[in-house]
Amino acid sequence: MRPIVEAVGLVKQVISDGRALNIVDDVSLSVFPGESVAIVGVSGSGKSTLLGLLAGLDTPTSGKVVLDGQELSTLTEDGRAAVRARVLGFVFQSFQLLPALTAIENVMLPLELAGAPDARRTANALLDRVGLGQRLTHYPKQLSGGEQQRVAIARAFATGPKLLLADEPTGNLDAATGARIVELMFELNRERGATLLLVTHDESISSRCQRTLRLAAGRLLSGELV
């Protein structure tokens, strides 16, 4: 089976105080369709940078990323954006909802960008699914943290992505709310047959994933092993 995302010898180097520093250091990994994979590590271990590289939001210093069969380094910035639109859904630690848009408009945005015919109906159904059917026209600032993350999850699944990338999805939430959000994410992931790749430092979340990859100082400790 072809991996949905594959990294080969991935390196991201930055210059800090005149010294070269590898934030991501020779990482190779493959994630297959239908899997749920957690990348864990302490703060500053390079988890979010790795996620950014896998999503094509950032370019590696060396190595390559193949996303849904497309090698990202061969694509332009706009080419990578097009792949993202087709393949990916995102959930962020800080939700990243647009403050000027209501809950339903935030969920509609990726659908509208893709030119989907029934953006409002689809968004409505998704918000219903995440339990916010009564809060469609609320602005983000009128919603609690947990509710905002639900909207973000609904937005992430709106275009039916093959791969859902989540960056510390419970980082800004209390334990109970976080647990419910994780539950919701896994449910939707199962329902829609998507692949889940999430970054966390919370062992209770990573334990629910089929595989866990450990990152320390930019290097993968337990590679493809489960």
Which residues lie near another protein (CB under 8 A)?
A: 48, 51-52, 57-58, 77-78, 81-86, 88, 90, 92, 94, 96, 98-102, 105, 109-110, 112-115, 139, 141, 167, 172
Which of 160, 156, 152 lies closest to 192 in space, CA to CA? 160
Kind plus residue range of the DSSP H or E element containing 21: strand 19-31
Residue closer to another protein, measured from CB, 1 or 99 = 99
* Residues 159, 114 contacting (CB under 8 angstroms): yes
DSSP state of 1: -
Residue closer to another protein, measured from CB, 47 or 211 = 47
Whole-number minimum distance, CB 112 to another protein, in Å?
A: 5
Whole-number minimum distance, CB 187 to another protein, in Å?
A: 23
Residue closer to another protein, measured from CB, 15 or 226 = 15
Residue closer to another protein, measured from CB, 44 or 223 = 44
Measured torsion, CA atoms of residues 189, 195, 199, 202, in degrees rounded to the nearest 10: 50
Residue with tokens 């989907």: 116
With a CB cutoff of 8 Å and minimum separation 6, the contacts of 102 are: 136, 137, 138, 139
* Residues 24, 12 contacting (CB under 8 angstroms): yes
* Residues 16, 24 contacting (CB under 8 angstroms): no
CA distance 27 to 8: 7
Whole-number minimum distance, CB 14 to another protein, in Å?
A: 12
Whole-number minimum distance, CB 49 to another protein, in Å?
A: 8
Whole-number minimum distance, CB 94 to another protein, in Å?
A: 7
Residue closer to another protein, measured from CB, 190 or 192 = 192
Tokens of 50: 């790795």
With a CB cutoff of 8 Å and minimum separation 6, the contacts of 140 are: 95, 97, 98, 99, 101, 103, 106, 148, 151
Residue closer to another protein, measured from CB, 108 or 188 = 108
Residue closer to another protein, measured from CB, 98 or 175 = 98
Whole-number minimum distance, CB 85 to another protein, in Å?
A: 2
Whole-number minimum distance, CB 1 to another protein, in Å?
A: 25
